[in-house]
């Protein structure tokens, strides 16, 4: 996987537009194109890593930075309460293989992963 193959690397680079809601030196947050809740924001590291476990192994501090950004988005948009989902692998629903945490909130959330 190279930056030019990866959709989210291309959003980080500005080659593809993203509806940005927060940014740090290392992390970007932007709205999901297909929102599943009133607040649905993707939080990603700017560097490429395929999934959450790979990022935790290679750079745990960066994963922690993502958590801080996720909380900041939730503080700004849904009273600080949110669900943070990492789909890991195609059978779990991962379709973009650049690690991203889905920040979901803004309503009472159900629990129906099927
Ligand atoms: P996942 O299925 O967990 O890999 O999540 C990928 C998410 O990326 C999906 O919820 C898509 O709706 C979202 N998505 C795909 N392309 C874009 C895009 N260009 N901008 C924002 N979100 C996107």
pLDDT tens track for 98-113: 999 999 999 999 998 7
The atom number, within ligand 1, closest to the CA of 11 reads 19
Average pLDDT over every residue of 18-34: 98
Residue tagged active-site, from 48, 98, 100, 102: 100
Distance from Cα 49 to the centre of ligand 1, integer Å: 16
Give the pLDDT confidence of 51-70 residue by residue, as tens digits.
Answer: 999 999 999 999 999 999 99
Please indicate whether residue 100 is annotated as part of the active site: yes
In the structure encoding, which two tokens stand for residue 109, read together?
């959330």
What structural domains and CATH numbers belong to the chain?
7-105 (3.30.428.10)
In this prediction, residues 64-91 reach a mean pLDDT of 98
> Which residue has its alpha carbon closest to ligand 1 atom 8?
32
| CB contact set of 27 (below 8 Å; sequence gap of 6+) | 43, 44, 45, 46, 62, 65, 66, 69
pTM: 0.97
Please give the distance, rounded to the nearest whole angstrom, from the Cα atom of residue 4 to the centre of ligand 1: 17
Neighbours of 44 (CB within 10 A): 24
């Amino acid at each position: 996987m190279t930056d030019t193959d990866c959709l989210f690397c291309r959003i980080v680079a500005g080659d593809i537009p993203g509806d940005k809601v927060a940014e740090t030196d290392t992390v970007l947050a932007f709205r999901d194109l297909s929102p599943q809740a009133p607040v649905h924001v993707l939080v990603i590291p700017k560097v490429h890593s395929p999934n959450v476990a790979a990022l935790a192994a290679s750079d745990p501090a960066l994963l922690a930075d993502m958590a801080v950004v996720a909380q900041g988005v939730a503080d700004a948009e849904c009273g600080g309460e949110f669900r943070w989902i990492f789909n890991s692998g195609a059978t779990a629903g991962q379709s973009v293989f650049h690690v991203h945490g889905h920040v979901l909130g803004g309503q009472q959330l159900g629990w129906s992963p099927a």
